[in-house]
Amino acid sequence: MAKLTIDGKEIEVPDGTGLFDACRQARGEALPHFCYHPDLSIAGVCRLCQVEVEGMPKLTIACNTGVRDGMVVHTRNERVTKASQQILEMHLINHPVDCPICDQAGECGLQDQYMKYGLYDSSIEVLDKVNKGKAKVIGPQVILDQERCVLCSRCVRFCNEYTKTGELGIFNRGDRAEIDVPEGVELANNYSLNTVDLCPVGALTSRDFRFQKRVWMLKAAESICPGCSTGCNVRLDHEADRIYRLKPRFNPDVNGRFMCDRGRMTYKAVHDSKRLVDPSFGSETLNWVEVMTRLKGLVARDKIGLIVGSPHQSLEELHLLGVLARATACPVVCGGLAGSDMDEGDDLLLSSDRSANRRALDLLDMRELSAADLTSKIENAGGTILILGGDPAADETVAAALKSAGNVLYIGTHQNSTTELASHVLAGCTWAEKGGIFVNKDSRVQEFKSALKGKGNAREDWRILVELLAGAGVPQVPNSLSDVRESLNTLLFSGLEINLNNLPGRGVPAGGESA
């Protein structure tokens, strides 16, 4: 361990700790910086994190300096403050003052550093600023404004070190240096939008989010990406019941600080024109009271002969399907069509399993069926067929069987092949409009929370299932999502250190080890 003094405060840190991190610990906040990032190699190019170390003749950059026992460090004396202002001045000489039209305004590192460490009167007179490229499309997702760039090289290092695709580089020298892609090359890897997150200024912006909404108008909600079985932790930025973007939320056990581009676009389905917005019974669009009254009669009269779930549904909803199956003596309850929602993945975060909760099916012993087996079960179902989520009718043989079936009740969020064949369709809520739990491919139990109201008359799926339970004559039904989770705690996690009503932000392994 090394003992050192930073701004008069004595601290002790492990040998090998970087001075930048030691200063963060002592100060309670990071030193001014552009190029430093905890997940990237040290570049030491922005020079903003300079500090004074007693016994050293010159200021040193903290990001590229290790701690030593007995160090005495000053981070905000007059000498350091003046150096920080001079460095900021150099960054601002050719920077365009276009904050009013820049997407980064409100979360810009350059704005923040100037307001905190600058606020000086400029001593440099610039007659002709160096002009560079504006609004250059460099890939399917990213636009580059070279004039705004402070050459921190974060984006370059990300493409070299994380994706190892190397699309970006720094070209030319001096004040003519600029970030760019080589001729004929696009920034088109699966993780290109992480360069936008990494950019401390507005040099790299998202083509999807560009000019859509001022960031200070957005509200944030914690959620889990539903795009694949990795279960990346995300921040859902929304305003007036509309999502504008997804950004990664730090979880060292799942996705670190990054996420894939495909996952960022999953929010678009929430606002898709094919959303189901009203419940229907047969050809009639009814209100929920009328629909549930008829469904209760249907369940009591015809019973439920087959229940089909989906790995896109939450753990609570899948659990309630099992409860409903037992309450109605339904002979078959399955997890959906085996092999559905599979696609090409990679070695980083994008899983080939494009469902968010397939591991939950295993926990609940809810087996998926092949197309032939599911078709057979449909043909032999002795009552109403209940399908929750997914689109099993996307398979032709399953579709043919459903077409010949009697009552088919579908609960879901979008029009699809199955809704076309269902006799009764109930509009459920998307992942952004309800709370729930997903279990990722590594069996990590993670909670997502409601951020928006359901679209139209869509209703949370677990509430629909609870009403069906009541219609089936179950005397005591859950009154809340917390009640459902208590039941799951008893069923799945009895004796383990897991409380589904009080999950930590990083989630927990299904085995119960501490997260």
DSSP string, 96-144: ---GGG-TTTTS-HHHHHHHHH---------SSPPP---SEE-SSSEEE
Question: What is the rounded average pLDDT of the residues 18-46?
Answer: 94
**Portions of the chain given CATH number 3.10.20.740:** 2-92
pLDDT tens digits for 351-362? 999 999 999 999
| Residue range 126-271, CATH number | 3.30.70.20
Asked whether the predicted pLDDT for residue 312 surpasses 90, the reply is: yes
Q: What are the structure tokens assigned to 94, written together?
A: 């050719």
Question: What is the rounded average pLDDT of the residues 208-212?
Answer: 95
pLDDT tens digits for 426-443? 999 999 999 999 999 999
Q: pLDDT class for 11, splitting at 50, 70, 90? A: very high
- Tell me the CB-side half-sphere exposure of residue 40, using CA atoms within 13 A: 25
- Phi, psi for 267 (deg, rounded to 5): -65, -25
Residue 24's CB is within 10 A of a number of other CB atoms, namely 16
Question: What is the rounded average pLDDT of the residues 98-107?
Answer: 89
CA 267 to chain CA centroid, Å, is 10
Beta strands 72-74 and 2-6: pairing type? parallel
Distance between CA atoms of 356 and 227, rounded to whole angstroms? 6
Q: What are the structure tokens assigned to 444, written together?
A: 């990590």
- Phi, psi for 490 (deg, rounded to 5): -70, -40
- Tell me the CB-side half-sphere exposure of residue 247, using CA atoms within 13 A: 16
- Phi, psi for 440 (deg, rounded to 5): -80, 180
Residues ≥6 apart with Cβ < 8 Å to 273: none
Question: What is the rounded average pLDDT of the residues 291-318?
Answer: 89
Asked if 218 contacts 238 with a C-beta cutoff of 8 angstroms, the reply is yes
- Phi, psi for 152 (deg, rounded to 5): -75, -20
Distance between CA atoms of 118 and 120, rounded to whole angstroms? 5
Quote the DSSP letter at residue 385: E
* CATH architecture for residues 280-509: 3-Layer(aba) Sandwich (3.40)
| Residue range 2-92, CATH number | 3.10.20.740
Residues in the chain: 515
How much is the pLDDT for 89?
A: 84
How much is the pLDDT for 515?
A: 43
3-state DSSP assignment of residue 340: coil
Residues ≥6 apart with Cβ < 8 Å to 128: none
Distance between CA atoms of 285 and 172, rounded to whole angstroms? 65
**Portions of the chain given CATH number 3.30.70.20:** 126-271
Mean pLDDT of the chain: 92
Amino acid (one-letter) located at 154:
R
Amino acid (one-letter) located at 482:
S
Q: Which of 323, 361, 283 minimizes the C-alpha distance to 467?
A: 323
Asked if 420 contacts 403 with a C-beta cutoff of 8 angstroms, the reply is no
Q: Which of 221, 433, 448, 424 minimizes the C-alpha distance to 316?
A: 448
Asked if 265 contacts 236 with a C-beta cutoff of 8 angstroms, the reply is no
Note every long-range contact of 9-16, with CB atoms under 8 Å and residues 24 or more positions apart, other chains counting: 13/67, 15/67, 16/66, 16/67
Distance between CA atoms of 214 and 485, rounded to whole angstroms? 37
Q: What are the structure tokens assigned to 248, written together?
A: 């990664």
Q: Where are the beta strands (DSSP E) in 173-319?
A: 178-180, 204-206, 219-224, 233-239, 242-248, 280-281, 284-285, 304-308
C-alpha separations of 223 from 12, 383, 491 in Å: 36, 37, 25
How much is the pLDDT for 40?
A: 97
**Portions of the chain given CATH number 3.40.50.740:** 280-509
Sign of CA dihedral 490, 434, 390, 472: positive
Question: What is the rounded average pLDDT of the residues 494-510?
Answer: 90
Q: What are the structure tokens assigned to 39, written together?
A: 């997940």
How much is the pLDDT for 299?
A: 76
How much is the pLDDT for 126?
A: 62
- Phi, psi for 181 (deg, rounded to 5): -105, 145
**Element at 324 (helix H, strand E):** helix 315-327
Q: pLDDT class for 125, splitting at 50, 70, 90? A: low
Q: Which of 54, 8, 41 minimizes the C-alpha distance to 27?
A: 8
Please give the residue that has the higher pLDDT: either 415 or 302: 415
Q: Where are the beta strands (DSSP E) in 62-162?
A: 72-74, 136-137, 142-144
Alpha helices by DSSP H, listed for 434-509, are 461-471, 481-492
Distance between CA atoms of 224 and 448, rounded to whole angstroms? 5
Q: pTM of the prediction?
A: 0.92
Residues ≥6 apart with Cβ < 8 Å to 449: 221, 222, 223, 435
Question: What is the rounded average pLDDT of the residues 205-231?
Answer: 96
